[in-house]
Amino acid sequence: MIQISALPAFTDNYIWLLQDHRTQRCAVVDPGDAAPVQAWLAAHPGWVLSDILITHHHHDHVGGVEQLKNATDAKVYGPASETIPARDVALKDNDRISVLGWDFEVYAVPGHTLGHIAFYHHGLLFCGDTLFAAGCGRLFEGTPEQMHTSLSRLASLPEDTLVYCTHEYTLSNLKFAIAVEPGNPDTAARLEKVTAQRAAGIMTLPSTLALEKLTNPFLRVDETSVKEKVDERSGTQNRGPSAVFAALRAWKDKF
């Protein structure tokens, strides 16, 4: 039985902490800052950090790796095609790794960055800055087509998959989602719920793929209502889901 919790970092990052209570070993995903992880380890004597999983090279995801590597014997896993500090295992699409005795599949999900990867284990998805709750990452390196393909691949995982992304962006993403789909009752309900959660300081993650498919406009570019709204905003007929996705992402960049 592995327990998953969030160590908040910076203003809106979560460092996911995976704990194996049988062995008292733990792993972290995307430690952009070493301090929250080291504080947790100091407060939990007996626990050993054995693995560090990295989704992409941005500083808010890798900034703490070197310090954690120096302080522990943790093994660092990261994308092969990006520069990751202290990386021990270079991962590419469809690789499999064993972490805390669990098998994780590695998916290449280019878009936010070109080498971005996601980790999947039986209903648990760690997707960094690719799929967010009610949104998706900015296209810093990849094309809209690449990101659309990456998101479609993640969306094909089982509906009850828990989505552990890196940032608490859900509320601002939903304000955009409701602008795209003002008539979507699921989006309206989620916006109301998340507004209350954030007002109370409650984390809105993990999400589920089922909820994302109902409310995340970036997973809904096949919907006629989304296409029509995006066409109206961009003043053109966007041909095909990939073009709708590109125009939707461009709209969000300026929202």
Active centre residues (catalytic): 56, 58, 60-61, 112, 129, 167
Measured distance CA(244)–CA(74) in Å, rounded: 42
Name the residue nearer to Fe ion (CB basis): 64 or 247. 64
From candidates 129, 168, 181, 212, binder to Zn ion by CB under 5 A: 129
Say how many CA atoms lie within 13 Å of 161 toward its Cβ.
23
Residue 117 near residue 214, CB atoms below 8 Å: no
Span interacting with Zn ion, options 6-14, 56-64, 177-185, 198-206, rule CB under 5 A: 56-64
Q: Does 57 bind Zn ion (CB under 5 A)?
A: no
Span interacting with Zn ion, options 28-36, 127-135, 182-190, 202-210, rule CB under 5 A: 127-135
Q: Which two tokens stand for residue 58?
A: 């941005």
Write the burial class of residue 115 (CB in 10 Å: 0-12 exposed, 13-18 middle, 19+ buried).
buried
Span interacting with Zn ion, options 47-55, 125-133, 169-177, 227-235, rule CB under 5 A: 125-133
**DSSP code per residue over 2-45:** EEEEEEEETTTEEEEEEEETTTTEEEEE--S-HHHHHHHHHHST
Residue 36 near residue 15, CB atoms below 8 Å: yes
Angstrom distances, CA of residue 21 to CA of 100, 102, 242: 10, 13, 44
Least separation in angstroms between CB 59 and Fe ion: 9
Measured distance CA(224)–CA(79) in Å, rounded: 36
Least separation in angstroms between CB 13 and Fe ion: 7
Name the residue nearer to Fe ion (CB basis): 51 or 60. 60
Least separation in angstroms between CB 43 and Zn ion: 28
Select from Zn ion, Fe ion, none the partner in contact with residue 168, using the beta carbon and a kind-dependent cut-off of 5 to 8 Å. Answer: none
27's enclosing H/E stretch is strand 25-29
Least separation in angstroms between CB 204 and Zn ion: 19
Name the residue nearer to Fe ion (CB basis): 51 or 168. 168
Select from Zn ion, Fe ion, none the partner in contact with residue 116, using the beta carbon and a kind-dependent cut-off of 5 to 8 Å. Answer: none
Residue showing tokens 């919907």:
223
The neighbouring-strand residues paired with 132 are 135
Least separation in angstroms between CB 229 and Zn ion: 27
Applying CB under 5 A, which residues contact Fe ion?
A: 60, 129
Residues that contact Zn ion, how many (by CB under 5 A): 2
Name the residue nearer to Zn ion (CB basis): 82 or 129. 129
Q: Does 58 bind Zn ion (CB under 5 A)?
A: yes
| CB neighbours of residue 1 within 10 Å | 6
Measured distance CA(143)–CA(31) in Å, rounded: 26
Type of residue found at 33: D
Name the residue nearer to Fe ion (CB basis): 47 or 176. 176
User: Contact residues for Zn ion (CB under 5 A)?
Assistant: 58, 129
